[in-house]
Amino acid sequence: MINDIFKVFGEQTAEILFQIITECMDDYLYIFDLQNNIFEISQSAVERFNMSKNVLTDAANEVMKVVYEEDREMLTKHLADICEGREKVHNLHYRWLDKEGRSVWINCRGIVINDQQGKAVYLIGCLNETGNKRRADNVTGLLGGPEFLAYLCSQKEPISKGFLMHVGIDDFGAINSSRGADYGNYILKSVATCMKECLSDKQRIYHLVADQYVIVDLEASSAEDAVALKEKITDKLHNFIVTENYEAIFSISIGVVDAATFCEGTEECRKKFEFALKQAKGMGKNGFYVFDQDDYEVFLQKGRIVAALRNAIVNNYEGFEVNYQPIVDCQTEQIIGAEALMRFSMITEEGREFVSPMEFIPLLEETGLIIPAGRYILNEAAAMCCEMQKYIPDFRINVNVSYVQILQGNVERDILDVIQKYALKPECLCVEMTESGFMDMTPSFCKFRKSLEKNGISFVIDDFGTGYSNLHCIRDMNPSYVKMDRDFTAKAMNSDRDYELYKNIIRMVHSINVRICAEGIEEREWLLKMKEMKVDYLQGYYFGRPCGKEQFLQQYASGIHVK
């Protein structure tokens, strides 16, 4: 048999065998000619790693360019030991660089071939990625992600119909933690089996990672087919849970994208695929979501805003600014302070774009960037207060604080730092929080509130009347005053029923010795009604819109009536 093979290949046996073997394996076969410093590796390595060709004629230098910098010294020493005969075996774990310059862990093994004098001539072996994804999963009995991609790539015609269904088990971590990994694996396998039993012969299922699967249908003509399959799977899983005597109660969430999305490129398809499941899970358990481009654009815009926020903070808060809106005494109509309002703009292809606070502030909170941004606003607001006190000695500045700053940062220290820095009286810096920020009287919030009281810093409940605020809440918080929500104010000014409610709330709040600021005052008539109800402070467009520091100083530094 061997002799017959040599007759077929002739003198080029080694080269032909190298080519055949490299085509038949996922790993990367290599031959290192140590005497002539020539290194040859499977052509597929060129597509994966940071190398331009598979034959390197200056191996000692060119191979090292592919090796992760921290690992080069180790490899150089090992190869020197092989050449000097001190090392007979090559079996190293180290890192190569991929096309994007990212480090990839590999296991490089080889056999040293010596000449008749015992000097090392060749190093022959293979290189494989130790962190590479498995092509199949033995727990679920399903093929894995690489085979899913291979199936899509193997289609002879561009994919024009069908769907990709991204399935995730809801709260699978709770099953693992409560019942153990073995039972968790049993659930993974059972879910796979249930779904498999629901598929037609034209549909395929793969296991991706952990508790996630993908079902592929390249024949379906509408989203209704995906809905029908989802209902079959849900029924099958419900029956499984019942037969298990409810030992594990769980659901699945499903995101669906058009299979044709794959034609947009693997990376773009992956992003939309992941987005669809994220949206489904965001609906709560047992979520089902069909990809919508408009939703995706909103998601991408959020990503652009977060990137811009992060970049702005790193670059000395470029793009952030503080606007100030006056707060006036209701009876005298004189300015007594202002609220500091965070504003943000970012650079886009069309130029500088102003982003609504309703968009960027929740993103600051979600990412934790509200902590450094909050310090910036605090400092700017305290500096402004110090400036205004040259003209209005008792001028006060209100700064909004997020619960994230309390929970994750050390905002009370930040507040005390700016008070000391600008030599302010503590009562001149007022902390505003919306009621949603302290719905739960957590230890972190209680500690923060006590710190404000201890240091004489005013506390204000903002947007009162929009949610769950009540007198019990006000009594517990003991604020300096509460601010009536602007929409609530507008309703009261345009409805007799809401006006009576508004008036009664003011009376009740005053009865527990708490003052009131009415937001959203837009007309003189509204101001007069507030005087009748004996509201303490007012804020709204009638007195002035939010504006920058210089404009505010120019308009209000005199402290005279704002209208």
Grouped pLDDT means (10 residues each) for the chain, 563 residues: 44 53 70 92 90 90 93 93 89 92 91 90 90 78 90 91 95 88 93 95 92 94 91 95 91 95 92 95 93 95 95 95 96 94 92 93 94 96 96 95 88 94 95 69 83 93 68 76 91 92 91 92 94 95 94 79 53
**pLDDT of res. 1:** 39
* Whole-prediction pTM: 0.74
Question: 276-295 in b/e burial notation, b at 16+ Cβ within 10 A?
Answer: bbbbbbeeeeebbbbbeeee
Residues 561 and 550: their CA atoms lie apart, in Å, by 19
> What are the residue ranges of CATH 3.20.20.450 in the chain?
302-557
Phi, psi (deg, nearest 5) at residue 86: -85, -20
Residues 254 and 213: their CA atoms lie apart, in Å, by 10
Please state whether beta strands 429-434 and 458-464 pair in parallel, antiparallel, or not at all (unpaired). Answer: parallel
Residues in Cβ contact with 482 at an 8 Å cutoff, skipping those fewer than 6 apart: 460, 461, 464, 469, 474, 509, 514, 515, 516, 517
> What are the residue ranges of CATH 3.30.450.20 in the chain?
12-129
Domain 136-291: give its CATH code.
3.30.70.270
| Structure-block tokens of residue 430 | 């007022």
Q: How far apart are the two ends of the chain, measured CA to CA in Å?
A: 105
Superfamily name with CATH number, domain 302-557:
EAL domain (3.20.20.450)
CA R_g for the chain: 34
Residues 86 and 549: their CA atoms lie apart, in Å, by 74
Specify the amino acid at residue 545. R
Question: Can you name the CATH fold of 12-129?
Answer: Beta-Lactamase (3.30.450)
Burial class (CB in 10 A: 0-12, 13-18, 19+), 106: buried
Cβ(266)–Cβ(232) below 8 Å: no
Dump the DSSP string for 287-340. Answer: -EEE--HHHHHHHHHHHHHHHHHHHHHHTTTTTEEEEEEEEEETTT-BEEEEEE
**pLDDT of res. 7:** 46
> What are the residue ranges of CATH 3.30.70.270 in the chain?
136-291
Residues 129 and 118: their CA atoms lie apart, in Å, by 32
